[in-house]
Structure 1
Amino acid sequence: MPVPEALRALAGRSSFWSEWFFTGDEPTDRPALLVTLPVAGGYRLLLDLDFAQPYHLLELAAPGFGAHEGTMLGWDAPDDGRPHVLRWSELDLIGRVIAMDDPSLPHPGLVVALLSRFAPVTLADDVPVVRALFTAAFRALRPAPLEAGPEQEPIPFFAEPRWWPMPVDPEALTDREIERLLVGRDGRRAGLDWHHHEGAGWVATQRAERNELGFPIRSMRDGTEHAFPFAGLAELLKSARSRLTTEIYGAPWCTTTAVVPLARRMVHAGDLSAVPSLLEALETAGCDHPAVLDALTEPLVPAEAAWVIEEIAGATPGTLLREVCAGTPADVESARVD
């Protein structure tokens, strides 16, 4: 299993994310964890998490590399680091393709939450889409609600639900805490941006005139680090897009006359009201892909349903997500940078 069970258990706890983003008071003696995320084409992302130092490392493992062998993409520590690694559109793509192969890692969810450590919000990003992905990812990690109600049949006077309020899990992430985490990821006031370089592809840049905070750029992907695996990352992303397109848009059940036109109408309308009709059309066409069917089955998670519908429709990622997740409470407009 690529994600340790210990990490899955911790992911619903707000205290864990304080440690992950270095917003807690002190380092902990929590055991180190290694997370392996198979992406596509034999490429993997490796996360080495050391909470005692604390120090977090992100690596790229190409086909043929050993289980724990990778090339450094970036790292982070309280006093130093190069955590600006991924564009948000790339993180979205990675989360989608991983979810296709591993239904236990739905998107947006744990993958986005973890890798957002290495994906600052920049001047180049579609902020409403980033906000929707980030908020949905952390909401998805909340533990199941605690059971409420009497242990035995109460007398009629006390049978009403108002007498048995739902217990509040003190470790569950609140929307306010999610908002605070997102604001801490915002690099726009530091002028962080992306620029497409003909040789290297997308490189991390900084616009001096927008750097209100006077912070330096912290990235191995800025074009000055010869060790950064530009070609390897490009191949990972290319493989991810190819696999995702083949798995959904190229699937036999996606070529029927009903499925794609219906998905495209939903993207154009910007709502999810036709999800039951789309689910019925998919089942009639023989779709048995668990990630697709789960995303469109009640209880519906709008962000999860949106990306699946976008892929079926062949739409630009974020087109539907932006509409169905509008107004999510996490706001990065009054942003700062950690």
Structure 2
Amino acid sequence: MPLDDALAARMAEPDFWPVYLFDDDAPDVYCDDAEDQESHVTRFGTGGGFALVLELTLALEYVDLDLEAPGLPEPANVGWDDQAHFHPHVMPWRELDLLCRAVALHDAELRHPGPMLALLCRFAFLAENDDLDTVTPLVDAAFEAVRPGAAGGGKVRAETREWFDLRNLRGTGLVWTTRADGYDAVGQDGTDGLPLYSLRTPSSEEFPFAAWSALLTFARGRTAAAAADPVLARPAVREALDRCLAADGHEHLRALADALAAAGYGNRVLLRAVADPVDRAEACWAVETLAGLPQGELVARWFGPSPLSGSRSWRLSLSLPVRGRPERFGPQAAEQLNAALQAANLGSAGLGGSSLHPEDGGYVLAEQHLDILIRDDLARGVEVVSRVLHTHAAAGTATLRPQGKPDVIPLRPPT
């Protein structure tokens, strides 16, 4: 079943992706009438009665993901994302990539990387065994397909970087265990970074473990079947395929397409991906599948090191006393911090909450709490924050800490 027509049309509108991705500068699409709230539902089917069902309510900034599977009396919720009590950590990257491949093989109109990956990557996270060299080319290509615009300069797209910042759980103490029923679950043994918010924990009674395991088994079977055609063992095909497995293998795609066509290879999805890919990344996973290579092996070979290799992100909390300040002081400070960090390509800042103190029988605004994201260079990022706060004579009373930790980061005067 192809992408829902109404959603496909909405995705082409310029405000869709900022709203869907919860960008701070997204336009307000809220509607007071609950019956008129804009919502969309679309299914990504692998065949065999399995499908992931995405439901999004843009005005409420709410995105829900359900699983349809044989044996389930009704779709089971596997995760959701919003701005309050989110549980978006449904699957590690490798599972999302696998499911996108299986759906593309089942439905020729849902090419991979494309809409499914762009829409569902918010429900995938990076785990310890995920190599960024195998990830970033596919995420970049997915957003390029649905939101054209060059990243330039060998850098990843902004959407890819934002996803990395939000979903990079490597080094945060993730622990995979096998439950008593034999299914894999994920927990977190303490955290030195982003916390895990998932229904897929060892003690969960909500996550459909058996149905999810069956979905993955079916997806693996579908991709394996595409590589089992005896045609692929013919000498001319094998020779052409082997040439495509080198680092410059993308230069030999035409010869492989010709060899497959001459041999009568019947999988039109993979044949099209080799002969006429929308992006080199599409041809790459197709050749991986045809050759029976492990997921991502050829991606890393064709595309080389990821621009995100070695990247890090730090999430900080800034408490900013505002009593006696102008009413707009907190929001303006957040705007200036955000502009300064973005201008230096070091991160972003935004309002995260506030504290009220009792006064004269009522309450007054005492503190604004800001969420700070710093990328790659913590020291430089803190310098930018410190400079802005010193400009407003606020560094002496403000407190900057790593999120969830008591350690205070000094806000030294700029030099």
* TM bucket, shorter chain: 0.7 to 0.9
Which of 132, 137, 141 is residue 137 of structure 2 equivalent to? 132
Which residue of 170, 178, 182 corresponds with 2:159? 178
8 Å CA contact 1:189–1:335 kept in 2: the answer is no
Matching residue within 213, 216, 219 for 1:234: 213
In structure 2, do the counterparts of structure 1 residues 303 and 139 end up closer, same or farther at CA, with 3 Å as the change threshold? same
Instruction: Give yes or no for the alignment of 1:219 onto 2:184.
Output: no
| 1:42 and 1:63 in contact (8 A); partners too | yes
Shift of 1:95: 0.7
Aligned AA (1:7): L
**What is residue 68 of structure 2 aligned with on the other side?**
61
How far the C-alpha of 1:37 sits from its partner, in A, is: 1.1
Structure 1's unaligned 5+ residue stretches are 144-171
Contact kept, 8 Å, 2:96 with 2:117, in 1: the verdict is yes
Instruction: Pick the aligned partner of 1:276 from 235, 241, 254.
Output: 254
What CA distance in whole angstroms lies between the structure 1 residues aligned with 2:202 and 2:270?
38
Higher relative contact order (Cα pairs below 8 Å, separated by 6+ residues)? 1
Q: 1:95 to 1:176 in 2, by over 3 A?
A: closer
Alignment of 1:1-338 (within 5 A): 1-13=1-13, 15-24=15-24, 25=26, 26=28, 28-29=30-31, 31-63=38-70, 69-142=74-147, 172=149, 174=151, 176-188=157-169, 191=172, 193=174, 195-197=176-178, 199=180, 200-208=182-190, 211-213=191-193, 215-246=194-225, 248-269=226-247, 271-298=249-276, 301-326=279-304, 333-335=311-313
Q: TM-score, normalised by structure 1?
A: 0.80
Asked if 1 retains the 8 angstrom alpha-carbon contact of 2:165 and 2:313, the reply is yes
Q: Deviations over 1:3-62 (max 9, x none)?
A: 211222233456322222222454544620111111132111111111122211111111
Task: Tell me what 1:163 maps to.
Answer: none
CA distance in 1, matches of 2:247, 2:309: 25
Query: How many Å separate the matches in 2 of 1:75 and 1:32?
Result: 15
Larger Rg: 2
CA change 1:299–1:91 in 2 (3 A) is: closer
Would you say the 8 A contact 2:66–2:76 is kept in 1?
A: yes
Contact conserved, 1:179 with 1:331, CA < 8 A, in 2?
A: no
Q: CA–CA distance in 1 between the matches of 2:282 and 2:49?
A: 25
Question: Normalization by structure 2: what TM-score?
Answer: 0.66
Structure 1 residue 212: Cα displacement: 3.0
For the aligned residue pairs, the C-alpha RMSD in angstroms reads 2.7
Query: What is the Cα deviation at residue 330 of structure 1?
Result: 6.3
Find the aligned partners of 1:33 and 1:19 in 2 and give their Cα distance: 13
Q: 2: CA distance between counterparts of 1:101 and 1:44?
A: 11
Contact 1:135–1:328, Cα closer than 8 Å, also in 2: no
How many residue pairs match? The answer is: 304
**What are the ranges of 5 or more consecutive residues in structure 2 without an aligned counterpart?**
32-36, 316-372, 374-415
Cα distance, 1:332–1:73 mapped onto 2, change above 3 Å: farther
- The answer as to whether partners of 2:132 and 2:308 remain within 8 angstroms in 1 is no
- The letter for the 2-side match of 1:102 is D
Residue identity matched to 2:301: E
The structure where strand makes up a greater share of residues is 2
Deviations 1:249-293 (A, max 9, x none): 122432323324532443255632221111111011102433112
Name whichever of 72-81 and 184-193 sits farther off. 184-193
- Residue-by-residue CA offset, 1:186-206 (whole Å, 9 max, x unaligned): 333771635142544332232
- Whether contact under 8 Å (1:84, 1:204) holds in the other structure is no
